[in-house]
Amino acid sequence: MFRTLLVEDNTSFRNTLHDMLHEQFPQVEVTEAGDGKSALDSITEHRPDMVFMDIHLPDENGLELACRIKTFDPSIVVIILTSHDMPEYRQAAFRNGASCYMCKKSIEPEDIIALIQGTMSYGIWY
């Protein structure tokens, strides 16, 4: 089973993303975390294949958390999904092991769907 983890402190956005993923991919297991500690606990327990993560979390920097996730399991695909479309954040995300950096303001649901389909279909693990 393909597993995803949504790490987002904005409950409304997290619920919207969760509902979209569940509707488009009913076979995918979707778990959620609202902060860094919960994210790390969920990664240990559920071993997701893909993590969608915000940069600004209540107790952790998502960019640093990406590095910790990739150190724990390099096969986890980390997607930074943030409101901050800044070159320095983008560069830091890739330096810390993120596979993709997406801006919430310009992302379309189809972009997320295509990303998941591509990863599931082709077994693209970074």
State the Cα–Cα distance between residues 68 and 46, nearest whole angstrom. Answer: 16
State the Cα–Cα distance between residues 4 and 33, nearest whole angstrom. Answer: 11
State the Cα–Cα distance between residues 77 and 88, nearest whole angstrom. Answer: 21
Which of 35, 87, 90 has its CA nearest to residue 65?
35
**Structural domains of the chain ordered from first start:** 3-122 (3.40.50.2300)
Considering the entire predicted model, what is its pTM? 0.90
Q: Which residues of the chain have pLDDT under 50?
A: 124-126
Position of tokens 């830091």? Answer: 92
Q: What is the pLDDT of residues 56-78, one digit of tens each?
A: 999 899 999 999 999 999 999 99
Question: Amino acid identity of 71?
Answer: T
